[in-house]
């Protein structure tokens, strides 16, 4: 028997970083799948395979590395072992042997939720395999708790978006609302190719919030007003209003120091080519940007972002979060 969890990736449309301090964020799932397969194995070890990265590592039940395909394998795959250990403890299952395989089309460390998708997928596949399926709320809680162990103060927006799916407004650990979208915004995603650590940039904004509280409060309240207006525009199908709001949101992200020259070059190229608006998405400092365009300018904006040095990430809005299946091997 195999359990297979298929997770979407995520894009934050508005409110990243400010969501960590208690603002709301608007995020949606896109059809870049991460597929996690869990199987029992004959040994009492946990074997983790990343098919996309061609890495493999095996850990004993108490977390010692017993085998690895190369030097990078342990650091890349240990977080997945931690998800397995945490999940087994959560459902009160004693350790036995498993093979966990991850196959992902999400670029790692680029702001599209690759680590959240792997965590949500691993929790879902393993609990399904062990006949202890969790509710979506429990999957979210488990993946969020794990993320808190990895980087100090995450908001949980990535884990919530990927677990529940669709277009959501998220605040303070809960999905405030799920939006019924008839016409998703026409988004173009450009990847700078520069990998960065979300934790580092979250730390930077946290420092600002703690040391220059008045200045931060003012910026955060502007960011909240933008998210509120964007929510209203999305609910009423006024996608053209999203562009100027994205530009405003980007200005605030620049003010708190999480943008980068590479992101700004792509954003400027998108705007000059006629995008309605553009901003970074996710942790910033590199990673991805998004632009919103009209049908008539979509191609021109896409080409301009690419000509400015980005890899385009073709993807569409997806209404579903993680889905889990059981299959006879
Ligand atoms: C990362 O995708 C979003 C951030 O707001 C961090 C978080 O919410 O935990 C930058």
Atom of ligand 1 nearest to the CA of 15: 5
The answer on pLDDT for 94 being more than 90 is no
Q: Note the pLDDT of residue 310.
A: 98
- Of all residues in the chain, the percent with pLDDT exceeding 90 is 91
Atom of ligand 1 nearest to the CA of 18: 5
Q: Note the pLDDT of residue 210.
A: 96
Query: How confident is the model over 166-185, as a mean pLDDT?
Result: 95
Q: Note the pLDDT of residue 45.
A: 95
Q: Hey, how many other C-beta atoms are within 10 angstroms of the C-beta on 48?
A: 26
What is the separation, in whole angstroms, between the first and last Cα of the chain? 5
Tell me which of 110, 152, 157, 223 to substitute to probe ligand 1's pocket, judged by most ligand atoms within 8 Å of the beta carbon.
157
Q: Note the pLDDT of residue 150.
A: 73
SS3 3: strand
Q: Note the pLDDT of residue 329.
A: 76
pLDDT tens-digit series, residues 268-312 = 999 999 999 999 999 999 999 999 999 999 999 999 999 999 999
The answer on pLDDT for 320 being more than 90 is yes
pLDDT tens-digit series, residues 216-260 = 999 999 999 999 999 999 999 999 999 999 999 999 999 999 999
Residues near ligand 1 (Cβ within 6 A):
12, 16-17, 19-20, 111, 154-155, 157-158, 198, 202, 282-283
The answer on pLDDT for 27 being more than 90 is yes
The answer on pLDDT for 147 being more than 90 is no
Contact 105, 111 (CB under 8 A): no
- Of all residues in the chain, the percent with pLDDT exceeding 70 is 100
Token pair belonging to 302: 């896409």
Q: Note the pLDDT of residue 182.
A: 85
Atom of ligand 1 nearest to the CA of 12: 2
Q: Note the pLDDT of residue 84.
A: 95
Q: Which of 44, 158, 214, 232 is catalytic?
A: 158
| Residue 113 CB contacts under 8 Å (≥ 6 apart), including other chains | 9, 10, 106, 158, 161, 162, 282
Closest CA to 17 of 223, 196, 193, 162: 223
Q: Note the pLDDT of residue 261.
A: 97
Q: Note the pLDDT of residue 33.
A: 98
Say whether 158 is catalytic.
Answer: yes
What is the spatial distance between Cα 29 and Cα 161, in angstroms, rounded to a whole number?
A: 6
Distance from residue 282's CA to the centre of ligand 1 (Å): 6
Distance from residue 146's CA to the centre of ligand 1 (Å): 14
């Amino acid at each position: 028997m195999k359990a297979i969890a298929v997770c979407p990736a995520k894009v934050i449309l508005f409110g990243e970083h400010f969501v960590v301090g208690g603002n709301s964020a608007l995020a949606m799932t896109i059809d870049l799948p991460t597929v996690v397969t869990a199987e029992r194995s004959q040994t009492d070890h946990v074997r983790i395979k990343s098919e996309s990265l061609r890495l493999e590592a095996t850990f004993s039940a108490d977390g010692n590395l017993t085998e690895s395909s190369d030097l990078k394998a342990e650091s890349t795959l240990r977080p997945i072992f931690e998800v397995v250990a945490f999940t087994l403890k959560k459902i009160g299952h004693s350790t036995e042997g498993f093979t966990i395989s991850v196959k992902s089309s999400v670029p790692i460390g680029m702001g599209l939720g690759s680590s959240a998708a792997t965590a949500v997928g691993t929790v879902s596949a393993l609990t399904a395999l062990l006949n202890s399926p969790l509710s979506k709320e429990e999957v979210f809680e488990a993946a969020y708790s794990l993320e808190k162990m990895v980087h100090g103060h995450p908001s949980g927006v990535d884990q919530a978006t990927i677990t529940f799916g669709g277009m959501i407004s998220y605040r303070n650990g809960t999905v405030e609302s799920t939006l019924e979208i008839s016409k998703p915004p026409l988004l173009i995603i450009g990847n700078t190719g520069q990998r960065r650590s979300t934790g580092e940039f979250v730390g930077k904004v946290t420092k600002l919030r703690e040391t220059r509280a008045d200045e931060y409060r003012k910026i955060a309240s502007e960011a909240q007003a933008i998210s509120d207006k964007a929510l209203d525009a999305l609910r009423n199908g006024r996608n053209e209003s999203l562009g100027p709001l994205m530009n405003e949101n980007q200005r605030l992200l620049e003010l708190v120091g999480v943008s980068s020259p590479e992101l700004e070059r792509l954003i400027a190229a998108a705007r000059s080519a006629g995008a309605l608006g553009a901003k970074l998405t996710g942790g910033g400092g590199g990673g991805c940007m998004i632009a919103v365009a009209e049908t008539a300018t979509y191609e021109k904006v896409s080409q301009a972002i690419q000509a400015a040095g980005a890899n385009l990430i073709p993807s569409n809005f997806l209404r579903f979060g993680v889905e889990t299946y059981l299959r006879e091997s």
